[in-house]
């Protein structure tokens, strides 16, 4: 201590992890975008440009500010008129403006070219590292396009504005905007994931059938992003459960009855508004066949599930970046944390998990880019659900372990890790919780005969590359073809599919140290049940060095 009694000299602390390109500093992402986009130069350029902005200190500050000041519901104006508006902190608007300018919500539709879906998945994963709440409205706006295209005249009316890039938060008729947002309202309090139990009713206002006008009455337990300009929603007609587009404004420019009852007080995702809404004589248009609403909206669901994988991967990457950065700069017991063998094991294990998620995310996105190929469509149908189940399940565990690497520094709100940890569970719950996703995989196996062969073709693509993987795939193939009751063991089956897919990708494309450690620990049974239990002999240094952010 100095003679003056000064006690607050700061040392042995990691510098802030900011002002670095989130894309360029992530080797697995850089290589994966190049590989899965087929070397499309525009893909890497787009993601690199957004990574520069996303990693800036002022952009990261926006994420903290948006979450410290959650949205507020304003049901009435001061004169007593019903307005049903949601007010956001300026930081939220700044994040949305940045993301839309970089086409996070529509890149593949604006530029339907090779690598567009790959680039967009990477963009979303970067956004999740800064402000994950904004991913929700951007994801639904992106994902609604295939569903709208079931009704050409409706798509023709809305798609031009869905391709816009100028964020406009005003609640005004869409004709006065160059870009719009679309949300979704599917679940109800009595049904949840069982949307066929919905009780919301739709009554035709004249002619019945696709594209025609209906009046909706009912209550939606979860309406995501209620500040959006329109919503895809499900309601019962006399024929059955059907899909509708419900705008906030009627064709004459007046307000459509859309009552926001309350905003949800959520564990995480706090910057984003989720709500309960009431339809009371609410106007909508039928999309697709009457009574086939699930079939119509399922295209949207597939794309949002891909974003669940991308968002969770982004959360995991930021957690690993924080942990490896801290360990590289912090010393304890006479050595840097990054030089201590047990910490190396933990960091390497976290890095393996994140690189495997990154590889699977980008491979899934390529299947969407190649959706004109039936084999790729079949692969995307089953593998997206598999990836959604596994990656979203792994994220909370990984982020907690990364937080522990920082100790108390990782537990305080000035650090991003508590926010990532609270955010992580939502992707596992949204668009089908674990059991629902596993049942969907089983459904794809039965109803889509090309799905399992497409999955196995991908798994077999590196036959002979690793004996442990070969044995894993052979055992999985045998079980997939065996008769018997599958539903009770569906989680185990889907987990094995996911690990096989990740191992296959890493064996083909990752450095040998990464692929070998992944197969040894995930397939070979030589690791424990928590992170940091990789077997002795693992090349910890190479794996950790690859995952540690390196400023340009």
CB neighbour list of residue 535: distance below 8 Å, 6 or more residues apart:
520, 521, 526, 527
Average pLDDT on 8-24 reads 94
Q: Render pLDDT for 280-298 as a digit per residue (tens, 0 to 9).
A: 999 999 999 999 999 999 9
Looking at residue 103, its pLDDT comes to 98
CA–CA distance, 182 with 137 (Å, rounded to integer): 7
Indicate whether 2 pLDDT > 80: no
In 72-166, DSSP assigns E strands to 72-76, 82-87
The owner of tokens 């190049």 is 34
Same domain, yes or no, for 43 and 128?
yes
The residue with greater pLDDT, 173 or 526, is 173
Average pLDDT on 69-90 reads 96
Where does the pLDDT of residue 527 fall: very low under 50, low under 70, confident under 90, or very high at 90 and above?
Answer: confident
Burial code of 530-550, b = ≥16 C-beta within 10 A, e = fewer? ebbebeeebbbebbbbbbbbe
Q: 16 in a domain, yes or no?
A: no
Q: What is the DSSP letter of 14?
A: P
State phi, psi for 378 to the nearest 5 degrees: -65, -40
Strands 331-332 and 274-287: unpaired
Same domain, yes or no, for 364 and 497?
yes
Same domain, yes or no, for 308 and 456?
yes
Same domain, yes or no, for 317 and 230?
no
Strands 182-185 and 201-204: unpaired
Where does the pLDDT of residue 549 fall: very low under 50, low under 70, confident under 90, or very high at 90 and above?
Answer: very high
Q: 169 in a domain, yes or no?
A: no
Judge contact between 473 and 500, C-beta under 8 A.
yes
Q: What three-state secondary structure class fits 325?
A: helix
CB neighbour list of residue 69: distance below 8 Å, 6 or more residues apart:
89, 91
Average pLDDT on 368-397 reads 97
CA–CA distance, 292 with 286 (Å, rounded to integer): 10
Looking at residue 213, its pLDDT comes to 98
Same domain, yes or no, for 345 and 198?
no
CB neighbour list of residue 279: distance below 8 Å, 6 or more residues apart:
200, 216, 217, 218, 219, 220, 233, 235, 246, 257, 258, 259
Q: What is the DSSP letter of 291?
A: T
Same domain, yes or no, for 107 and 43?
yes
Q: 167 in a domain, yes or no?
A: no
Same domain, yes or no, for 31 and 110?
yes
Same domain, yes or no, for 267 and 337?
no
Judge contact between 216 and 279, C-beta under 8 A.
yes
Percent of the chain as helix, strand, coil, to the nearest 5: 55, 15, 30
Looking at residue 3, its pLDDT comes to 58
Q: 284 in a domain, yes or no?
A: yes
Judge contact between 187 and 221, C-beta under 8 A.
yes
Q: Take residue 239 and report the two structure tokens written for it.
A: 């024929």
Looking at residue 6, its pLDDT comes to 79
The residue with greater pLDDT, 224 or 458, is 458
Which of 292, 316, 351 corresponds to the end of one domain? 292
Same domain, yes or no, for 58 and 154?
yes
Q: Render pLDDT for 472-501 as a digit per residue (tens, 0 to 9).
A: 999 999 999 887 889 999 999 999 999 999
Q: 278 in a domain, yes or no?
A: yes
Q: 15 in a domain, yes or no?
A: no
Same domain, yes or no, for 286 and 302?
no
Helix (H) or strand (E) holding 385: helix 374-406
Looking at residue 459, its pLDDT comes to 97
Percent of the chain whose predicted confidence (pLDDT) is above 70: 99
Percent of the chain whose predicted confidence (pLDDT) is above 90: 94
Q: Render pLDDT for 136-149 as a digit per residue (tens, 0 to 9).
A: 999 999 999 999 99
- Domain extent for 249: 174-292
Same domain, yes or no, for 494 and 432?
yes
Which of 257, 277, 292 corresponds to the end of one domain? 292
Give the bridge partners for 249, in sequence order. 255
Same domain, yes or no, for 246 and 123?
no
Residue 372: CATH number of its domain: 1.20.140.10
Q: 7 in a domain, yes or no?
A: no
Looking at residue 427, its pLDDT comes to 96
Residue 257: CATH number of its domain: 2.40.110.20
Number of domains in the chain: 3
CA–CA distance, 178 with 524 (Å, rounded to integer): 54
Where does the pLDDT of residue 193 fall: very low under 50, low under 70, confident under 90, or very high at 90 and above?
Answer: confident
pTM for this one? 0.97
Where does the pLDDT of residue 552 fall: very low under 50, low under 70, confident under 90, or very high at 90 and above?
Answer: low
Give the bridge partners for 230, in sequence order. 182, 247
Looking at residue 548, its pLDDT comes to 97
CA–CA distance, 480 with 489 (Å, rounded to integer): 12
Q: Is the CA virtual torsion 375, 377, 380, 383 positive or negative?
A: negative
Which of 162, 194, 209 corresponds to the end of one domain? 162
Average pLDDT on 334-362 reads 98
Helix (H) or strand (E) holding 380: helix 374-406
Give how far Cα 15 sits from Cα of 8, 23, 322, 327, Å.
17, 20, 11, 11
Q: 4 in a domain, yes or no?
A: no
Indicate whether 550 pLDDT > 90: no
Looking at residue 195, its pLDDT comes to 87
State phi, psi for 38 to the nearest 5 degrees: 70, 30
């Amino acid at each position: 201590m100095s003679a003056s009694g000064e006690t607050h000299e700061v040392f042995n602390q990691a510098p802030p992890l900011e002002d670095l390109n989130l894309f360029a500093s992530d080797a697995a992402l850089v290589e994966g975008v190049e590989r899965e986009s087929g070397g499309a130069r525009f893909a890497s350029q787009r993601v690199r440009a957004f990574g520069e902005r996303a990693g800036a200190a002022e952009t990261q500050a926006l994420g903290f500010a948006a979450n410290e000041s959650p949205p507020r519901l304003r049901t009435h104006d001061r004169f007593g008129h019903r307005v049903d508006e949601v007010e956001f902190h300026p930081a939220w608007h700044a994040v949305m403006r940045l993301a839309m300018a970089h086409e996070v919500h529509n890149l593949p539709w604006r530029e339907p070219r090779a690598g567009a879906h790959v680039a967009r998945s990477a963009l979303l994963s970067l956004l999740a590292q800064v402000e994950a709440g904004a991913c929700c409205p951007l994801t639904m706006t992106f994902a609604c396009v295939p569903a709208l295209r079931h009704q050409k005249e409706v798509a023709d009316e809305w798609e031009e504005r869905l391709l816009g890039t100028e964020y406009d938060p005003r609640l005004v008729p869409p004709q006065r905007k160059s870009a719009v947002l679309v949300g979704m309202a599917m679940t109800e309090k009595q049904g949840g994931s069982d949307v066929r139990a919905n009780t919301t009713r739709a009554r035709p206002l004249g002619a019945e059938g696709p594209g025609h006008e209906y009046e909706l009455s009912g209550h939606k337990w979860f309406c995501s992003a209620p500040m959006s300009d329109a919503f895809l929603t499900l309601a019962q007609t006399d024929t059955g459960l059907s899909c509708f587009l419900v705008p906030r404004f009627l064709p004459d420019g007046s307000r459509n009855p859309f009552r926001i009852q309350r905003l949800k007080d959520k564990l995480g995702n706090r910057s984003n508004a989720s709500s309960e809404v009431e339809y009371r004589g609410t106007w909508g248009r039928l999309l697709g066949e009457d009574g086939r609403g699930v079939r119509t909206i399922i295209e949207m669901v597939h794309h949002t599930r891909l974003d669940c994988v991308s968002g969770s991967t982004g959360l995991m990457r930021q957690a690993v970046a924080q942990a490896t950065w801290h360990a590289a700069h912090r010393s304890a017991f006479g050595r840097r944390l990054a030089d201590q063998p047990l910490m190396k094991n933990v960091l390497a294990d976290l890095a393996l998990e994140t690189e495997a998620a990154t590889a699977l995310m980008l491979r899934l996105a390529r299947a969407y880019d190649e959706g004109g190929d039936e084999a790729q469509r079949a692969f995307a149908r089953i593998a997206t659900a598999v990836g959604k189940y596994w990656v979203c399940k792994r994220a909370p565990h990984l982020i907690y372990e990364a937080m522990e690497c920082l100790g108390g520094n990782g537990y305080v709100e000035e650090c991003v890790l508590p926010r990532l940890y609270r955010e992580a569970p939502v992707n596992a719950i949204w668009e089908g919780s674990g059991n629902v996703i596993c049942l969907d995989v089983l459904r794809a196996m039965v109803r889509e005969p090309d799905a399992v062969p497409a999955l196995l073709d991908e798994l077999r693509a590196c036959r002979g590359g690793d004996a442990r993987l070969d044995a894993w795939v052979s055992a999985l193939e045998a079980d997939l073809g065996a008769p018997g009751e599958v539903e009770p063991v569906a989680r185990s089956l889907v987990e094995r599919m996911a690990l096989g897919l990740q191992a296959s990708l890493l064996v083909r494309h990752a450095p040998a140290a990464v692929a070998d450690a992944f197969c040894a620990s995930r397939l070979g049974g030589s690791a424990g049940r928590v992170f940091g239990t990789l077997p002795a002999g693992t090349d910890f240094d190479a794996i950790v060095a690859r995952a540690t952010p390196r400023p340009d």
